[in-house]
Structure 1
Amino acid sequence: MRVVTRLTWSEEKSLEKMLGNVSLRLLYKSSVHGSDIHSMNNKCTHQGPTVTIIYVGNTILGVFMLGDHPEACDNLKRANPSFYFLFQKNNVTVMKTAVLETETKINSGRLVCYSSGQEVFSVHPSESSFSMVDSLRNTLGVYIRSGNKYSECEVFHVEGIRDDINYISKITGAAKHRNSLLVELGTYKPCVDFVSEIHILLLGPVGSGKSSFINSVKSVFQGRLTRQATVGSDVTSITEQYRIYPIKDGRGGKYLPFRLCDSMGLHEKEGIGLCMDDIPYILKGCVPDRYQLNPSRPITPNHPNFIASPSLKDRIHCVAYVLDINSINDLSSKMVAKFQQIQKEVLSCDIAYVLLLTKATNCGEFLQDNFSNMDKPITSQSQIMDASKMLNIPIYNTFMVENYTSEWELDPVKDTQILFVLRQMLRVTEDFFEDLP
Structure 2
Amino acid sequence: MYSAFGAPRTLTSKLTEEQRKQLRDLLGNLELTLLYKASVHGYQASAFHQQCDNQGPTLLVAYNRSGYIFGGYTSVDYAQSGQQIIDDQAFLFSVHDGGDPQCIKINSGCYARSDDAGGPNFGQQLYFCYNNHPIVLEKNQYNSSIPFNSYKLYGNDTWLIECEVYKVEQRSTLLDSQVSAEEKPWRNVQWKTSQRVHLIAMIRSHKPLIMSMSRVRILMIGPVGAGKSSFFNSINSIFMGHITSKAMSGSAGTSLTTQFRTYPVKSSRQGKLLPFVLCDTMGLEEQSGAGLNIEDISSILQGHVPDSYTFNPTVPFCRDEQNMSGPASLPEKIHCVVYVIDTTKISLISDNLEEKLTSIRRNVNSLGNGEGPSKHLCQFLHQVEGETWSHDHMVCSYRTQSDSRLGVPVSCVLPVKNYSQELELELNCDVLLLTALQQMLRFADDYLDDVDPRKIK
Normalised-by-shorter TM-score class: 0.5 to 0.7
1:61-100 correspondence to structure 2 within 5 Å: 67=34, 70=37, 72=39, 75=42, 77=48, 81-82=59-60, 83=72, 85-86=93-94, 95-97=102-104
Give the counterpart of 2:268 among 242, 245, 250: 250
Q: Secondary structure at the match of 1:382?
A: helix
1:203 aligns with 2:221: yes
Report if aligned partners of 1:206, 1:235 keep a CA contact under 8 Å in 2.
yes
Of Structure 1 and Structure 2, the greater strand share is in 1
Equivalent position of 2:379 in the other structure: 354
| RMSD over aligned Cα atoms | 4.8
Give the counterpart of 1:404 among 419, 444, 447: 419
**Kindly tell me: are residues 133 and 415 of structure 1, through their superposed partners in 2, closer, same or farther at Cα, counting changes over 3 Å?**
farther
Per-residue CA shift, 1:173-206, capped at 9, x if unaligned?
6222222222222221121246442111000011
1:253-264 correspondence to structure 2 within 5 Å: 253-264=271-282
Residue 365 of structure 1 deviates from its aligned partner by: 6.7
Q: Secondary structure at the match of 1:327?
A: helix
Report if aligned partners of 1:204, 1:210 keep a CA contact under 8 Å in 2.
yes
**Kindly tell me: are residues 310 and 277 of structure 1, through their superposed partners in 2, closer, same or farther at Cα, counting changes over 3 Å?**
same
1:179 aligns with 2:179: no
1:120-199 correspondence to structure 2 within 5 Å: 120-121=127-128, 139=146, 141-144=148-151, 148-149=156-157, 174-193=192-211, 195-199=213-217
Residue 115 of structure 1 deviates from its aligned partner by: 5.5
Equivalent position of 1:423 in the other structure: 438
1:235 aligns with 2:243: no
**Kindly tell me: are residues 289 and 224 of structure 1, through their superposed partners in 2, closer, same or farther at Cα, counting changes over 3 Å?**
same
Give the counterpart of 2:319 among 276, 295, 301: 301
Equivalent position of 2:401 in the other structure: 386
Q: Secondary structure at the match of 1:409?
A: coil
Whichever residue aligns with residue 389 of structure 1, its letter is S
Q: Point out where structure 2 has 5 or more consecutive residues left out of the alignment.
A: 1-9, 20-25, 53-57, 61-71, 73-91, 107-111, 114-118, 163-169, 176-187, 453-457
Whichever residue aligns with residue 353 of structure 1, its letter is C
**Kindly tell me: are residues 53 and 276 of structure 1, through their superposed partners in 2, closer, same or farther at Cα, counting changes over 3 Å?**
closer
**Kindly tell me: are residues 53 and 422 of structure 1, through their superposed partners in 2, closer, same or farther at Cα, counting changes over 3 Å?**
closer
Equivalent position of 1:432 in the other structure: 447
Report if aligned partners of 1:218, 1:226 keep a CA contact under 8 Å in 2.
yes
Q: TM-score, normalised by structure 1?
A: 0.66
Give the counterpart of 1:343 among 337, 350, 361: 361
Q: Secondary structure at the match of 1:264?
A: coil
> Aligned equivalents of 2:194 and 2:294: distance in 1?
43
**Kindly tell me: are residues 357 and 306 of structure 1, through their superposed partners in 2, closer, same or farther at Cα, counting changes over 3 Å?**
farther
Give the counterpart of 1:50 among 6, 10, 15: 15
Per-residue CA shift, 1:220-258, capped at 9, x if unaligned?
223332221221111111112211011222232221221
> Aligned equivalents of 2:304 and 2:262: distance in 1?
13
Per-residue CA shift, 1:139-198, capped at 9, x if unaligned?
462133988459xx99xxxxxxx977789xx99862222222222222211212464421
Equivalent position of 1:226 in the other structure: 244
234-243 or 420-429, which deviates more: 420-429
Q: Point out where structure 1 has 5 or more consecutive residues left out of the alignment.
A: 1-44, 55-61, 102-112, 155-161, 367-377
Q: Secondary structure at the match of 1:285?
A: coil
Q: Give the total of aligned pairs.
A: 355
1:103-114 correspondence to structure 2 within 5 Å: 114=120
> Aligned equivalents of 1:122 and 1:365: distance in 2?
43
Report if aligned partners of 2:11, 2:34 keep a CA contact under 8 Å in 1.
no
> Aligned equivalents of 2:382 and 2:242: distance in 1?
23
1:313-332 correspondence to structure 2 within 5 Å: 313-332=331-350
Report if aligned partners of 1:93, 1:223 keep a CA contact under 8 Å in 2.
no
Q: Secondary structure at the match of 1:326?
A: helix
Whichever residue aligns with residue 330 of structure 2, its letter is L
Residue 381 of structure 1 deviates from its aligned partner by: 2.0
Equivalent position of 2:304 in the other structure: 286
Report if aligned partners of 2:104, 2:147 keep a CA contact under 8 Å in 1.
yes
**Kindly tell me: are residues 143 and 242 of structure 1, through their superposed partners in 2, closer, same or farther at Cα, counting changes over 3 Å?**
same
Report if aligned partners of 1:399, 1:421 keep a CA contact under 8 Å in 2.
yes
> Aligned equivalents of 2:351 and 2:18: distance in 1?
57
Give the share of equivalent positions with the same residue, in percent.
30
Per-residue CA shift, 1:100-159, capped at 9, x if unaligned?
99xxxxxxxxxxx9459x984479xxx9x9756668997462133988459xx99xxxxx
Equivalent position of 1:8 in the other structure: none
> Aligned equivalents of 1:395 and 1:202: distance in 2?
19
**Kindly tell me: are residues 355 and 307 of structure 1, through their superposed partners in 2, closer, same or farther at Cα, counting changes over 3 Å?**
farther
Residue 259 of structure 1 deviates from its aligned partner by: 0.8
